[in-house]
Amino acid sequence: MQINILQGFDGAKKAEGLAVIIDVFRAFSFACYAANNGAKRIYPIDKLTLVDQLYKEIPNAIRCGERHEKKVPHFEFGNSPTHIEKEDFTGKTILHSTSSGTQGIYLSTNASEKITGSFVNADAVIQYIKTKEPTTVSLVCMGYEGTSEADEDTFFAEYIKAKLEGTEPDFEEMVEKLRVGSGKRLLDPIKQSYSPKRDFDLCLSLNRFPFILKAKKDSKGYYLEKIEI
Ligand X SMILES: O=C(O)[C@H](CS(=O)(=O)O)OP(=O)(O)O
Q: Which of 7, 36, 93, 99 binds ligand X (CB under 6 A)?
A: 99
- Tell me the site size for ligand X, rule CB under 6 A: 14
Quick one: which segment of 32-40, 98-106, 120-128, 174-182 binds ligand X (CB under 6 A)? Answer: 98-106
> Minimum Å distance from CB 168 to ligand X?
27
Q: With CA atoms as reference, report the closest residue to 222 among 47, 84, 62, 25.
A: 47
The verdict on 196 binding ligand X (CB under 6 A) reads: no
Cα separation, 146 vs 151, in Å, equals: 13
Q: With CA atoms as reference, report the closest residue to 30 among 67, 71, 80, 77.
A: 80
> Minimum Å distance from CB 74 to ligand X?
17
Closer residue to ligand X in complex, CB, 21/61? 21
Interface characters, 140-169, with ligand X (x: CB under 6 A): --x-xx------------------------
Helix/strand/coil (H/E/C) assignment for every residue in 33-79 = HHHHCCECEEEEECCHHHHHHHHHHCCCEEEEEEECCEECCCCCECC
* C-alpha neighbours within 13 Å on the C-beta side of residue 156: 36
Q: Omega before 26 cis (within 30°)?
A: yes
Q: With CA atoms as reference, report the closest residue to 114 among 227, 208, 200.
A: 227
Amino acid at 112: S
> Minimum Å distance from CB 184 to ligand X?
12
The verdict on 79 binding ligand X (CB under 6 A) reads: yes
Quick one: which segment of 85-93, 122-130, 138-146, 213-221 binds ligand X (CB under 6 A)? Answer: 138-146
Interface characters, 25-54, with ligand X (x: CB under 6 A): xxx---------------------------
The verdict on 66 binding ligand X (CB under 6 A) reads: yes
> Minimum Å distance from CB 64 to ligand X?
10
140 near 15, Cβ under 8 Å? Answer: yes
Helix (H) or strand (E) holding 10: helix 8-14
Which residues form the interface with ligand X (CB under 6 A)?
23, 25-27, 66, 69, 79, 98-101, 142, 144-145
